[in-house]
Structure formats: structure tokens, C-alpha cells
Amino acid sequence: MTAPTKPPYGTAADPAPERAPGEPLHSPVIDWFDEHARDLPWRRPEAGAWGVMVSEFMLQQTPVNRVLPVYEQWLARWPRPADLAAEAPGEAVRAWGRLGYPRRALRLHGAAVAITERHGGDVPADHAQLLALPGIGEYTAAAVASFAYGQRHAVLDTNVRRVFARAVTGVQYPPNATTAAERRLARTLLPEDAETAARWAAASMELGALVCTAKNESCHRCPIAAQCAWRLAGKPAHEGPPRRGQTYAGTDRQVRGRLLAVLREAHGPVPQTALDRVWHEPVQRARALDGLVADGLVEPLPGGLYRLPLA
């Protein structure tokens, strides 16, 4: 007597295994990444978790080409969190140079101090412990856990959000701020295997940075163009709230940057008169300086002197 023939998939006796929603996207995107990923220092094994964390702070709202030289100098000077923690926070601001948004330097210094005090100088691998560090939000905690430790987390930066918006949701741009629906979608698209999930996080981010860009997207180079909901719909124009442009000239940000540049280049306290020379409009200049003091980036001293913070 022969064994009964096994029914084909799709019958009631043996239904076909369900595919994860993101499965058709994983292999083509990861294969593309394996071939086209940029050789960046924080992706090399020797970078370690601290190198990954430094890069994630620096890359927020700042392009790679501006980050690279500052990153190299930073890691050469402070190869471990304890090295940075031993310095005054003002030195972190000084070394930050002109990367912009210098409060990130203070937050990174605060994280280094906490890592040194709470974790023996080693960047923790546990996601909850990462999230508990000062200056670390959901994105950075997920990115460090994923990229440094190969864990399974949804890593949602602007590039990933744009890829998911177009390829899956069928719209040109994601919302201005990350929504709960985007987080749910990102978790749904995660591969089950941790190693693959970490690779997927890096690959989808690189795809958004190099191919599925905000402007002039290169669909002919996209490994998932045939599956992209936005492309298949004829690339409908954005219908949501207006995209927020980033202006700089004439803003308080520009004034703050000029004031900080004077303090970074000085070897001691700077008099008010030296700061007054960097911007012609006194009300805006005073507002920018007050903001720097309130943010902890500048320390006022008696006699109308100012310096980068020592504590």
C-alpha cells in the first residue's frame, strides 16, 4: 500500500504558508544594499557601538559629507565614552564645529557621562537601557541596538519613512512628524530574523538616501520599482500639509552659529563687545545669545564675559 499523496498547497488540508507583508521587499533591497552600500566608517566592525552612536547623533539633519571629517576627528580624540565624559561639555561643543544644531553635542556628552557612570563605559546593548540615556530618543536607541548589536527593531529616519510612504502607502512623502501608523507599518515590515531585520534597517535607509530621494528620485535604479505603490499609481503629487523648508540666512540659527563660532575659536572668556561684532541687529543678536545661554551652550560670567560651558 502506497502512502497517500500530499495535497498541494492552498487546499484546506494544507494551506500555503502566509508570507510576511514585507517579505517581497526584503531580498531585493538587501541584495541591492550588499552591492551598492557606501563604505562609511561607522559601518565598519572597528567602529563599535560608540562609533555607531556618535554617527547617529551627528547624522541627524546633517548630510554625510559634512559629518565625515568631524566624525573622524571626534573618534580620534574620544575613542570611548569615558574619554568624552572626562572633558568639559564645552569641549564637545567646540569639537562639534559647524555641524549645526549644537545641542546634539551637549546631549552626546551627557550620554557619554551616563554610559561611564551607569554601564562601566560600554554602550549598553539593551534597548531599554539605551532609551534611558539622556539625549537618546526612540530612533537613536533603535538605530544603535540594530546597527551596533544586530537586534530586531524598527529604525525610522526620514529616508526610511519616505521609502515606506512611496513603496507601501503609495504617497510621495510621509507626514511631517512620525505617526503611530508609520510605526505600526515599520513593525509589520520587519523581517522575523534579527540579523535580517538589522540588515533591512540599514538597507532601506540607504535606499532612501541614494535612490528614493526627496527630489529627483531614481526609479530606474530602484530594486523595488516594480512593486512601488506610488510609482504604479502614476506618482501622484503630494496632497498633504506643505513640506517644511529649512531656511538659514537671516534666522536666529545663523546668528547663534556666528556667536558660537567666536566662542569656539577663543582660548578663554570672550567679552560682549567681541560678540556684538558678529551681527548688526542688536535685538536679534541679544535674543540669539539669550537662547544659547538658556540651552546651556554658553556660560555667562561676571563682567560681561562669555565662554563655552565647563559644567
CATH number, position 104 = 1.10.340.30
Grid cell at residue 17: 504558508
| pLDDT for residue 156 is more than 90 | yes
Q: Which domain-ending residue is among 169, 202, 233?
A: 233
Q: Do the domain assignments include residue 242?
A: no
| pLDDT for residue 243 is more than 50 | yes
Of 162, 132, 35, 57, the C-alpha closest to 101 is 57
| pLDDT for residue 150 is more than 60 | yes
Band (22; pLDDT cuts 50, 70, 90): confident
Q: Do the domain assignments include residue 204?
A: yes
Residue range 39-56, pLDDT digits in tens? 999 999 999 999 999 999
**Which residues are marked as active site?**
56
Residue range 83-133, pLDDT digits in tens? 999 999 999 999 999 999 999 999 999 999 999 999 999 999 999 999 999
Q: What pLDDT does 2 receive?
A: 37
Q: Looking at the structure, do residues 121 and 164 belong to the same domain, yes or no?
A: no
DSSP characters for 13-49? SSPPPPPPTTHHHHHHHHHHHHHH----GGGSGGGHH
Q: Do the domain assignments include residue 246?
A: no
Of 113, 37, 96, the C-alpha closest to 62 is 96
Rounded CA separation 256/236 (Å): 39
φ/ψ bin of 192: left (φ > 0), alpha (ψ from -120 to 50), beta (otherwise): alpha
Q: What pLDDT does 129 receive?
A: 98
The separation between CA 189 and the C-alpha centre of its own chain, rounded to angstroms, equals 20
Q: What is the DSSP letter of 97?
A: T
- 170 with 235: CB under 8 angstroms? no
Residue with cell 562669555: 306
How many domains does the structure of the chain reveal? 3
- 26 with 207: CB under 8 angstroms? no
Grid cell at residue 281: 541687529
Q: Looking at the structure, do residues 203 and 115 belong to the same domain, yes or no?
A: no
What CATH number does the domain containing 299 carry?
Answer: 1.10.10.10
Mean pLDDT confidence for 135-151: 97
Residue range 26-40, pLDDT digits in tens? 999 999 999 999 999
Q: What pLDDT does 10 receive?
A: 39
Q: Do the domain assignments include residue 119?
A: yes
Q: Looking at the structure, do residues 164 and 204 belong to the same domain, yes or no?
A: yes
Q: Do the domain assignments include residue 3?
A: no
Q: Which domain-ending residue is among 205, 233, 261?
A: 233
Mean pLDDT confidence for 154-174: 97
Band (311; pLDDT cuts 50, 70, 90): confident
Domain that holds residue 88: 31-149
Q: Looking at the structure, do residues 120 and 223 belong to the same domain, yes or no?
A: no
Which residues does residue 299 pair with via DSSP β-bridges, in sequence order? 307
Q: Looking at the structure, do residues 91 and 176 belong to the same domain, yes or no?
A: no
Task: Name the more confident of 13 and 64.
Answer: 64
Q: Do the domain assignments include residue 243?
A: no
Q: What is the DSSP letter of 228?
A: -
Q: Looking at the structure, do residues 295 and 201 belong to the same domain, yes or no?
A: no
Residue with cell 544603535: 144
Mean pLDDT confidence for 201-206: 98
Band (286; pLDDT cuts 50, 70, 90): very high
Q: Which domain-ending residue is among 125, 149, 173?
A: 149
Q: Looking at the structure, do residues 132 and 163 belong to the same domain, yes or no?
A: no
| pLDDT for residue 242 is more than 90 | no
| pLDDT for residue 4 is more than 50 | no
What CATH number does the domain containing 195 carry?
Answer: 1.10.1670.10
Q: Do the domain assignments include residue 244?
A: no
Q: Do the domain assignments include residue 96?
A: yes
Between helices 89-96 and 252-265, what is the axis angle to 10°? 110
| pLDDT for residue 9 is more than 50 | no
Q: Looking at the structure, do residues 53 and 138 belong to the same domain, yes or no?
A: yes
Q: What pLDDT does 245 receive?
A: 65
